[in-house]
Amino acid sequence: MFEVMQVADDAVRAALTDLSDDEGMFQESVRRFAAERIAPLVRVMDEAQQMDVELVREMFALGLMGIGVPEEYGGAGGSFFDAVLAVEAISAVDPAVGVLVDVQNTLCVNAIVRWATSEQKRRHLPRLAADTVGAYALSEAASGSDAFALETRAVRRGGDYVLNGQKLWITNAKEAGLFLVFATIDPAAGYKGVTAFLVEKGTAGFEVGRKEDKLGIRASSTCELIFRDCVLPGDAMLGEPGKGYRIAIETLNEGRIGIGAQMVGLANGAWEHSARWAKQRKQFGKPLAEFQAMRFQLAEMATEIEAARLMVYNAARLRDRGAEFVKEAAMAKYFASQVAERVASLAVEVFGGAGFVKDYPVEKLYRDAKIGKIYEGTSFMQLATIAKLTLGKV
């Protein structure tokens, strides 16, 4: 038993160490950008339910939208872990902006880097690094957690494919110029009929529909997509026919780490607001932070955040070194979303009545936190994955 306890995987040890100098500098630069440029826009974007266009342009100019795009295609050539650091830092200020960067890097860019042909990479990656937002279109009315119960059809016609159907709850849809769309070429084949396509904005027969009026992350667009006899050339297919399920599974497993990072950032932002408030807000003649009950509550919040952060970092490092990470990704996403909701709720309580009004930032973070347990795999789906990958080894 003692020998077993001493065994530690290199990736786990790496996740528990400090960031490298380059990683630390990168994270700090993103934090500074978020504080200086995103923070002043948070409330106005939330109320308008719209992402600031100039802000998106600035994020492209800084390389935040093409972190994982190889340098040969005009990107930053960064690691998956770099993307996680960026999402965390941005989400501490505004999780709505954080998810824009997350979907771009952990879902869209990753899928194209791994699965696209050389020609598709030359066509799309430079744009994703320079000025084009990507969106990931899997969900439908009848396929939420049952992700592959797709009704959107792709029918072969000569060398083309004709898409018909509707997608729902698609993040980044309003801003996106490129959509990774999953459809079935053979409904009878179940998940083996699922196929991925790259659809550009403006394609005939394709339109972005109604934008959802959401509880939280309101600046992040979430829209329906409508396909009516949308004709795509054969070279718009990403990967092979019937292999879309593999693309979806692999990218979503990675995307869950990104959502974990978003939730860690959100929780950390809520904690920082709470700590500052507790130091300045006085009751009974002294700051709240001098009361033991408040100090212990803030200490518990900080401990949970640190635990969630280490889980997210560990999963990201495992992914970067090519090790198995599916269980760790599910655990990180599940736990980080639990922590974010709890910490954001406690932050409102720390602020008291002030926390319940929109004049203070924790009200928004509380609303933003709820989605963490739902998108890119609900908490129940994460628990199912964790149970499968742990109980099977007993």
Residues with a known catalytic role: 376
Q: Cα Rg for the chain, rounded, in angstroms? A: 21
Structure tokens at 39: 């923070």
Find out whether 259 and 252 touch, Cβ atoms under 8 Å. Answer: no
Find out whether 377 and 256 touch, Cβ atoms under 8 Å. Answer: yes
User: Distance from first CA to last CA of the chain, Å, rounded?
Assistant: 16
Exposure string of 2-30, with b = 16+ CB inside 10 Å and e = fewer, is eeeeeeeeebeebbeeeeeeeeeebbeeb
Q: What are phi and psi of 207, to 5 degrees?
A: -145, 150
Find out whether 351 and 79 touch, Cβ atoms under 8 Å. Answer: no
Tell me how far apart the alpha carbons of residues 33 and 52 are, in angstroms, rounded to a whole number: 15
Tell me how far apart the alpha carbons of residues 319 and 114 are, in angstroms, rounded to a whole number: 14
Find out whether 168 and 139 touch, Cβ atoms under 8 Å. Answer: yes
Structure tokens at 261: 């990072």
User: 14 by DSSP, 3-state: which?
Assistant: helix
Q: Which amino acid is located at 200 in the chain?
A: E
Q: What are phi and psi of 224, to 5 degrees?
A: -90, 155
Using alpha carbons, select from 203, 56, 57 the residue that is nearest to residue 137.
203
Overall size of the chain counted in residues: 394
Q: What are phi and psi of 20, to 5 degrees?
A: -65, 165
